[in-house]
Structure 1
Amino acid sequence: MAKLDQVIEQVLAKIKLRKQQSYEIDYQNQNLPPNEQVYIDNANVTINDVTIDLLVNLYRINTNDSWVQWILQGISFQVIFTFHISLYMINFIPKKMLLDWPVIFIVDKNHPVFSFYQNFVSRQNLAILPDESIIILKPNQFLTAEAEETLQLKRMTKKVRGDEDCIWQK
Structure 2
Amino acid sequence: MDHLIEQVLTKIRQREHQSFEVDYLDQTLPPDDKVFTDSANVSINDVTIDLLIELYRVNTTNSWIHWILQGISFQVNFTFNISQYMVNFIPKKMLLDWPVKFVVDKERPVVMFNKKTVSRGDMAGLPDKAVLVVTDAQSLTSEATEISRLKQITIQIRTDEDCIWQK
TM-score normalised over the length of structure 2? 0.98
| Corresponding residue to 2:48 among 51, 68, 71 | 51
Q: Does 1:25 align with 2:22?
A: yes
Q: What per-residue deviation string (whole Å, max 9, x for no partner) do you get for residues 67-118 of structure 1?
A: 0000000000000100011111111100100000011111111211000101
Q: Does 1:41 align with 2:42?
A: no
Work out the CA distance in 1 between the residues paired with 2:34 and 2:107: 28
| Corresponding residue to 1:132 among 124, 129, 138 | 129
Q: What displacement does 1:127 show?
A: 1.4
2:68 is aligned to 71
Work out the CA distance in 1 between the residues paired with 2:127 and 2:14: 25
Where does 1:74-85 land on structure 2 (aligned, <5 Å)?
A: 74-85=71-82
Question: Aligned letter for 1:166?
Answer: C
Where does 1:102-117 land on structure 2 (aligned, <5 Å)?
A: 102-117=99-114
Equivalent position SS for 2:8: helix
Q: What displacement does 1:164 show?
A: 1.5
Gaps of 5+ in 1: none
Work out the CA distance in 2 between the residues paired with 1:78 and 1:106: 19
Q: Does 1:142 align with 2:110?
A: no
Work out the CA distance in 1 between the residues paired with 2:75 and 2:121: 27
Question: Aligned letter for 2:29?
Answer: L
Q: What displacement does 1:148 show?
A: 1.0
Equivalent position SS for 1:124: helix
Gaps of 5+ in 2: none
How large is the RMSD of aligned CA atoms in angstroms?
Answer: 0.8
Identity level (%): 60
Q: Does 1:87 align with 2:102?
A: no
Aligned residue pairs total: 167
TM-score normalised over the length of structure 1? 0.96
Q: What per-residue deviation string (whole Å, max 9, x for no partner) do you get for residues 133-166 of structure 1?
A: 0000010111112211110110000011011211
Question: Aligned letter for 1:48?
Answer: N
